[in-house]
């Protein structure tokens, strides 16, 4: 039996930029996320947020990103879906 994919909904709470070396070419950022909740203002779908936060009221995700394009893709305060799919 294949395990189901689980969809999470988190929003960006912080982007902490880091630089290494003597120039800006070695940039990275630690990006922090928290789960959306019923009254999350950054998304128009309040019913979806209420349903999601009923089962996942708290959590935290932090990741360090070194790809400049990916760093800029995450906007502070914006919500994103995270799909967890089992690896074979």
Residue 1 pLDDT: 66
Quote the distance between the C-alpha of residue 70 and its chain's center. 12
Distance between CA atoms of residues 82 and 2, nearest Å: 19
pLDDT digits (tens, 9 = 90+) for 25-67: 678 999 999 988 776 665 567 777 777 777 766 889 999 999 9
Identify which has the larger pLDDT, 53 or 75: 75
- The residue ranges of every structural domain in the chain are 7-83
Residue 56 pLDDT: 66
Distance between CA atoms of residues 80 and 11, nearest Å: 6
């089992």: which residue's tokens?
Answer: 86
Closest alpha carbon to 70 in 12, 22, 8, 9? 12
pTM of this prediction exceeds 0.75 = yes
């Amino acid at each position: 039996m294949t395990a189901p994919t689980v969809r999470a909904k988190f929003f960006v709470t912080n982007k902490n930029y880091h630089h290494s070396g003597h120039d800006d070419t070695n940039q990275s950022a630690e990006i922090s996320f928290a789960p959306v909740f019923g009254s999350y203002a950054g998304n128009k779908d309040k019913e979806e947020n209420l349903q999601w936060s009923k089962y996942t009221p708290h959590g935290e995700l932090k990741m360090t990103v070194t790809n400049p394009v990916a760093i800029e893709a995450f906007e502070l305060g914006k919500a994103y879906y995270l799909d967890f799919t089992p690896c074979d």
